[in-house]
Structure 1
Amino acid sequence: MPPPSVRLSCHYAALFGVVGTTLPYWSLWLHDRGLEPVAIGLITGATVWGKLLVNPLAGLAADALGRPRWVMAVLALGSLTLYAGISWVEGVVGLLLMSLGAAGLCAALMPLSETLTLAQARAGTLDYGRVRLWGSLAFIVVSFALGPVLDRVGSEPVPWIILGFLALVLVGLPSLPSGPRHPRPAPGVWRHHLLAPRFLLFLLASGLIQAGHATYYTFATLHWRAAGLDGAFIGFLWAEGVAAEVALFFLGRRMVARLGPLGLLGLGAGAGVLRWTLSAFSTEPMVLMGAQVLHAGTFACAHLGAMHFLSQTVPPALANRAQALYSTLCQGVLMGAAMSMAGPVYQAWGGRAFLLDAGWCALGGLCVAGVAWGQRRGR
């Protein structure tokens, strides 16, 4: 059997095939079903809110059972089933409920995957960044390839493409490393670690920086199309951003050693203020290409910083719950709220809605400074 790094790399590639389809093109599929921007923002935001219920339960089950792959299989099968039926659903309410379930179950796969990978990284069997980058590479290939394809055939195949990648995830789960087993922590220990003020402020900081992608994830494709950019170039822009992310992940171990987790988070916040301000005021191709390079900061730096902060501050026996809490609050509550706000703001302001994202990143940077201050004072 191939080493854990290869098996996990293939898993990330399949999982991010789903992400590379949904992030750039799910809003397009909804638009082609006749939905208005406010409804699109509501549905894409609500799919993130699905993490509120699924992620904590999945993390708790994985820690309690000690069998994260079993939990992941249930999640993948449930998501696959719902996506298989979504093309026959009509109306905003039906699409909202189906998207909520399908995307919520699928999204819960990510924190469990991260926990498995970080456990192997702690054991010294792999470099987290160099495994995780294969997910980003898959995102590049899928998002770039689908642009011209969907230009020709329309967005109707989008749910079926998602189904194909979910099937690959499901088939590959038995080959993943199971991860070490840890004794259950004493009652109340989780509160000491996961409800500490410094940890909660870290979650707020990470969530605000990630919420800075809300308008981008929801309306970038539609905004750029309205500006006259063709599907191939839009696919290139998405791919370029993730290529910058891949480069950062490749250098991840050095970046963590040099800047530390909080330094990476602060760099991500600063990059977000610049990136979203540029995106708000220009749709010129060269400006957008420059802004997309900053994805290395807004996502990759922030994500690496968050993952290593969790790895360094949370005991292994609480790792699944910590990842679930991180995903629920950062990519669920805050991202869901920001996406839901993005709809009416984009409808009213158009591209200026990206300024809201710059504001989220600025607030996130202030929270990072607060975590660093508390860390220096030993809080």
Structure 2
Amino acid sequence: MPRSLWRFAAFYFWYYAALGAYTPYVGRWVDALGHGGFVIGAMLGLWYGTRIVAPPAWAALAGRSARPGEWFVAGCVVTALCFAGFLVTREAWALLGVMAVFGLFYNAVMPQFEAMTLTALGPSPELYGRLRVWGSVGFLAVASSYGALMDRFGADSFPWLTLPLFVAMAVSAWPHRHDRPPEIAGPAIAEAGHLFKRPGVRRFLLVAMLMQLGFGPFYVFYTLHLQAAGHSGAAIGALWAIGVLIEIAMFWQAPRLIARFGAGRLLSVCLGVTVLRWALVAAFADLFWVMALAQTTHALSFATFHACCMRLITDYFPGRRAVAGQSLLYGFSSGVGGVLGAGLAALMWERVGAGPAAFAAGAVVALVAWGIHAMRRPTPAATPA
């Protein structure tokens, strides 16, 4: 890989290293502060909600600037400053306020950076995977180790342990202050409303949304569920590491599987395996070897499912329509599905039966998604845009 691209690998590493601390362990920290499942669910719900609003708003602001790279650096610095607000917040209303502002900036900068990365790669887009994998390495390094660190220093140490990662992210953004995203001429996002009516699109988006909804208990309460089942922080970190490692490996193999079996058929397998995964997590959380086995299914329920969705996007939204298609998928899956999933997880955790009930609900949602997908019609052949 050319030396000039290592600065991109560095930013991916630190951005996802910070995410590797936040996603698995923010719930454990909020729980240690004495707050219940509804506050934890609201924290993650705001996280997903800002993913809907932040990227287009930030793109509009940065796009009007003659120096968009400086906007990018500023966004990363403000992200670190906002996260520092968690050092002095304990009340629920304050936590949610800081979360809302922090999420807006943290979720805004990555789409801009992705565009700058593709511009830098130019005629060599195949190098993207070699850069992006450093993000997975960063997530893996932190997610696998922070459980043990919080065991040693206490759950209250979470913001102090994590803030340096955001500072490092801001520092790694500085070399990109002169970078620019590409000038893209394509369809307006408004075209997505028309594409929403195309045959099969609504079913596909509904399945993607339900899959993300079913992941709600995993992203919000997985660490707490394992902790309640008696696992140590080191064991929990190891389980997160298994999922990330298998995800990395499967992303390399998914194109071959899709070419052999077809995205639609493979998606059915992913959904079926996900039902089994959440059922195992609900029923056997105290058995480490069962949880390790369940984490290996992340290869299908996340990595392969995501790859299948990307392939189906090119069928439903060929050519220049892919931009509008991606906006629909992102909004329905990561946005709506993420918010609803966090809400479902919090409701089941607080009102029904904590971890087992939350993950059982996730299994039911995945089962519904599998049934909806099973009733699909053949994917339309791609046509030139």
**Common fold by TM > 0.5:** yes
Which deviates more, 249-258 or 275-284?
249-258
User: 2-side partners of 1:190 and 1:63: how far apart?
Assistant: 21
Query: What's the counterpart of residue 151 of structure 2?
Result: 151
Once the two structures are superposed, the pairs formed by residues 272-283 of structure 1 within 5 Å of their partners are 272-283=274-285
User: 1-side partners of 2:209 and 2:266: how far apart?
Assistant: 14
1:306 aligns with 2:301: no
Residues 17 and 162, structure 1, Cα contact 8 Å, conserved in 2: no
Residues 248 and 300, structure 1, Cα contact 8 Å, conserved in 2: yes
1:332 aligns with 2:335: yes
Flag the 1:113–1:259 CA change in 2: closer, same or farther, 3 A: farther
Flag the 1:367–1:180 CA change in 2: closer, same or farther, 3 A: farther
How far did residue 142 of structure 1 move? 0.4
Once the two structures are superposed, the pairs formed by residues 6-85 of structure 1 within 5 Å of their partners are 6-60=6-60, 69=69, 72-85=72-85
1:155 is aligned with what amino acid?
A: A
Once the two structures are superposed, the pairs formed by residues 162-173 of structure 1 within 5 Å of their partners are 162-173=162-173
Q: Deviations over 1:116-142 (max 9, x none)?
A: 567788954325555433322221210
User: 1-side partners of 2:358 and 2:68: how far apart?
Assistant: 39
Residues 237 and 289, structure 1, Cα contact 8 Å, conserved in 2: yes
Indicate which of 236, 239, 256 corresponds to 1:234.
236
User: 2-side partners of 1:67 and 1:267: how far apart?
Assistant: 46
1:216 is aligned with what amino acid?
A: F
State the secondary structure of the residue aligned to 1:35. coil
TM-score normalised by the chain length of structure 1: 0.85
User: 2-side partners of 1:369 and 1:171: how far apart?
Assistant: 48
2:288 is aligned with what amino acid?
A: P
Identity %: 28
State the secondary structure of the residue aligned to 2:156. coil
Residues 133 and 250, structure 1, Cα contact 8 Å, conserved in 2: no
State the secondary structure of the residue aligned to 1:229. coil
1:45 is aligned with what amino acid?
A: G
User: 2-side partners of 1:276 and 1:217: how far apart?
Assistant: 12
1:169 is aligned with what amino acid?
A: M
Gaps of 5+ in 2: none
How far did residue 2 of structure 1 move? 3.3
Flag the 1:71–1:97 CA change in 2: closer, same or farther, 3 A: same
Residues 13 and 135, structure 1, Cα contact 8 Å, conserved in 2: yes
Residues 80 and 170, structure 2, Cα contact 8 Å, conserved in 1: no
State the secondary structure of the residue aligned to 1:50. helix
Q: How many positions carry a matched residue from both structures?
A: 377
Flag the 1:185–1:223 CA change in 2: closer, same or farther, 3 A: closer
Flag the 1:75–1:209 CA change in 2: closer, same or farther, 3 A: farther
State the secondary structure of the residue aligned to 2:2. coil
User: 1-side partners of 2:194 and 2:75: how far apart?
Assistant: 29
Flag the 1:213–1:184 CA change in 2: closer, same or farther, 3 A: closer
State the secondary structure of the residue aligned to 2:361. helix
1:358 aligns with 2:363: yes
User: 1-side partners of 2:322 and 2:280: how far apart?
Assistant: 40
Query: What's the counterpart of residue 209 of structure 1?
Result: 211
Once the two structures are superposed, the pairs formed by residues 117-128 of structure 1 within 5 Å of their partners are 123-126=123-126, 128=128
State the secondary structure of the residue aligned to 1:182. coil
Which deviates more, 250-259 or 285-294?
250-259
2:165 is aligned with what amino acid?
A: F
State the secondary structure of the residue aligned to 2:152. helix
User: 1-side partners of 2:268 and 2:97: how far apart?
Assistant: 36
Query: What's the counterpart of residue 106 of structure 2?
Result: 106
User: 1-side partners of 2:367 and 2:97: how far apart?
Assistant: 33
Residues 20 and 140, structure 2, Cα contact 8 Å, conserved in 1: yes
Query: What's the counterpart of residue 256 of structure 2?
Result: 254
1:278 is aligned with what amino acid?
A: L
Indicate which of 251, 256, 268 corresponds to 1:266.
268
User: 1-side partners of 2:6 and 2:258: how far apart?
Assistant: 22
Flag the 1:230–1:167 CA change in 2: closer, same or farther, 3 A: same
Flag the 1:17–1:250 CA change in 2: closer, same or farther, 3 A: same
How far did residue 365 of structure 1 move? 3.1
Residues 273 and 361, structure 1, Cα contact 8 Å, conserved in 2: yes
State the secondary structure of the residue aligned to 1:157. helix
How far did residue 281 of structure 1 move? 0.8
- Over the aligned positions, Cα root-mean-square deviation in angstroms equals 3.4
Q: Deviations over 1:340-367 (max 9, x none)?
A: 1211202322323212112222333345
User: 1-side partners of 2:116 and 2:261: how far apart?
Assistant: 24
1:183 aligns with 2:188: no
How far did residue 171 of structure 1 move? 3.2
1:244 is aligned with what amino acid?
A: I
User: 1-side partners of 2:263 and 2:122: how far apart?
Assistant: 15
Gaps of 5+ in 1: none
How far did residue 168 of structure 1 move? 3.1
State the secondary structure of the residue aligned to 2:90. coil
User: 2-side partners of 1:102 and 1:43: how far apart?
Assistant: 11
2:159 is aligned with what amino acid?
A: P
State the secondary structure of the residue aligned to 2:145. helix
Flag the 1:267–1:67 CA change in 2: closer, same or farther, 3 A: farther
Residues 212 and 341, structure 2, Cα contact 8 Å, conserved in 1: no
How far did residue 261 of structure 1 move? 4.5
Query: What's the counterpart of residue 300 of structure 2?
Result: 297
